[in-house]
């Protein structure tokens, strides 16, 4: 009798898991609540939509997230496939046209005959009914979140996350800006808005005093990797200048600047640009007023304003086994940002790894954990085994990779990719 596999959520983690298992020959039921239930952060009904930035972070081979992308590419990542057909100029980062990216993922999922799509809002779980992969993301809430908490016996936690505004390119005053990649990378994916000291100070004072949108129902806690720009500014007048507005490496025509706001290409054609590092919770009118003080953006038209939303996650060390299954319901897996990983690539990677672990069960292989020499293996090991009382979401970094701080980065990379190849071969029965 064919195993029953239910995947809840068609975001990055859910589509990775569904695509892998279906391509291996297993029938998958994929459940997605949009468009029946609207999301506060999504703008389309496409699968795999990137709701915050369009950047998948560094693609350099000496960067932990760069190596992680190589790892999941070897494992057959759908996200990496989609990024190749939707990439936009972005220096050393991998950035994509988010619409083309999500359209590619949606098309691949819908064309797969082993995947049955159900547009349904799942509110209850039956751990005894086959296998379930919960990939509902950080916006998981209400009845389903309560159901997860009930089964796990642990209360989930939450923090704020935010997205940055997107601007129409044709509304930018190009007499006041210049195109350049940091440190003369020869990359034309960034438009730079330079600021002199007096311009920066006026902008800073308006930013820290601007009106914020109200937040309800939970305590204010931010993820340090994605702080609202006004929160960064509140930590000191020069904090932005050493963060998203740092001018280093962006000299132009022999002139150095006090601060520089960067805009990154957001679509393949180049009609839209997002404000790098400008995640925000300012009200829409205040975003228009304050951000229009930036040189070159005086008459900027916003295709989308920044938005803040709640991110939920489970206390993975208390809730999850090493294979991302629930300790109190071993046939139920939790993947993606709900599991406690942070970031697009990390979310997709956890869904793909959970599918590999499920494959081991389906093929009746003895459980083999992915090596801690790999970035992905170390990341999942961290979220499932770190101190439960101090747990907070984690993204890919060398600090959690076994021996990564003792050996040269090329050695770390080679060792990581070799461990991925061995793990893949074992799961495929080779």
The domains of the chain, with CATH numbers, are: 5-156+314-427 (3.50.50.60), 163-310 (2.40.30.260)
Per the DSSP assignment, residues forming a β-bridge with 263 are 191, 275
Residue 165 near residue 291, CB atoms below 8 Å: yes
Per-residue pLDDT of the chain (430 residues; tens, 9 = 90+): 789 999 999 999 999 999 999 999 999 999 998 887 776 666 688 999 998 788 999 999 999 999 999 999 999 999 999 999 999 988 888 999 999 999 999 999 999 999 999 999 988 888 889 999 999 987 787 888 889 999 999 887 777 667 889 999 999 999 999 998 888 765 567 999 999 999 999 999 999 999 998 765 444 566 566 788 999 999 999 999 999 999 999 999 999 999 999 999 988 888 999 999 998 989 999 999 999 999 999 999 998 898 877 778 899 999 999 999 999 999 999 999 999 998 899 999 999 999 999 999 999 999 999 999 999 999 999 999 987 667 888 899 998 998 888 899 999 999 999 999 999 999 999 8
Pairing of strands 190-195, 178-179: antiparallel
Burial class (CB in 10 A: 0-12, 13-18, 19+), 408: exposed
**Phi-psi sector, 186: left (phi>0), alpha (psi -120 to 50), beta:** left
Q: Is the pTM of this model over 0.85?
A: no
Round to whole Å and give the CA distance between 249 and 182.
5
Q: Which residue has the tokens 């997230």?
A: 65
CA angle 153, 328, 5 (to 5 degrees): 120
DSSP state letters, 286-308: HHHHHHTTSTT-TT--EEE--EE
**Is residue 282 within 8 Å of 209, Cβ to Cβ?**
no
Compute the half-sphere exposure of residue 258: CA atoms within 13 Å on the CB side of its CA: 14
199 sits in which H/E element:
helix 197-208
C-beta separation of 9 from 31 below 8 A: yes
| 119 phi, psi to nearest 5 deg | -90, 100
385 — phi, psi (to 5°)?
Answer: -130, 0
């Amino acid at each position: 009798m064919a195993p029953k596999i239910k995947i809840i959520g068609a975001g990055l983690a859910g589509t990775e898991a569904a695509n892998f298992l279906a391509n291996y020959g297993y029938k998958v039921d994929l459940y997605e609540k949009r468009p029946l239930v609207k999301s506060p952060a999504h703008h389309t009904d496409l699968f795999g939509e990137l709701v915050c930035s369009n950047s998948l972070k560094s693609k350099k081979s000496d960067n932990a997230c760069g190596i992680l992308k190589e790892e999941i590419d070897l494992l057959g990542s759908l996200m990496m496939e989609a990024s190749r057909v939707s990439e936009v100029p972005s220096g050393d980062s991998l950035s994509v046209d988010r619409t083309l990216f999500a359209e590619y993922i949606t098309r691949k999922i819908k064309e797969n005959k082993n995947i049955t799509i159900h547009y349904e809002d799942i509110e209850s779980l039956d751990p005894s009914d086959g296998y379930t992969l919960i990939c509902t993301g950080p916006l998981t809430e209400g009845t389903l979140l309560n159901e997860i908490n009930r089964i796990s016996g642990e209360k989930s936690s939450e923090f704020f996350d935010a997205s940055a505004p997107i601007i129409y390119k044709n509304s930018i005053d190009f007499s006041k800006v210049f195109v350049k990649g940091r440190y003369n990378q020869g990359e034309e994916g960034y438009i730079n808005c330079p600021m002199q000291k007096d311009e920066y100070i006026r902008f800073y004072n308006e930013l820290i005093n601007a009106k914020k949108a109200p937040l309800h129902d939970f305590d204010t806690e931010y993820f340090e990797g994605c702080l609202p720009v006004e929160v960064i500014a509140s930590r000191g007048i020069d904090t932005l200048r050493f963060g998203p507005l740092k001018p280093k490496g962006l000299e132009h025509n022999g002139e150095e600047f006090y601060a520089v706001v960067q805009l990154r290409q957001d679509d393949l054609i180049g009609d839209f640009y997002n404000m790098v590092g400008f995640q925000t919770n300012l009200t829409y009118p205040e975003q228009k007023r304050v951000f229009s003080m930036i040189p070159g953006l005086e008459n900027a038209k916003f295709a989308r304003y920044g938005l803040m939303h709640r991110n939920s996650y489970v206390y993975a060390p208390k809730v999850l086994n090493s294979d991302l299954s629930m300790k109190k319901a071993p046939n139920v897996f939790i993947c993606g940002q709900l599991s406690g990983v942070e970031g697009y690539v990390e979310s997709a990677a956890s869904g793909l790894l959970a599918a590999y672990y499920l494959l081991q069960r389906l093929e009746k292989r003895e459980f083999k954990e992915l090596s801690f020499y790999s970035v992905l293996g170390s990341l999942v090991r961290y979220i499932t085994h770190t101190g439960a009382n101090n747990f907070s979401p984690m993204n890919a970094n060398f600090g959690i990779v076994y021996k990564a701080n003792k050996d040269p980065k090329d050695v770390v990379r080679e060792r990581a990719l070799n461990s991925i190849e061995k793990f893949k071969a074992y799961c495929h029965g080779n």
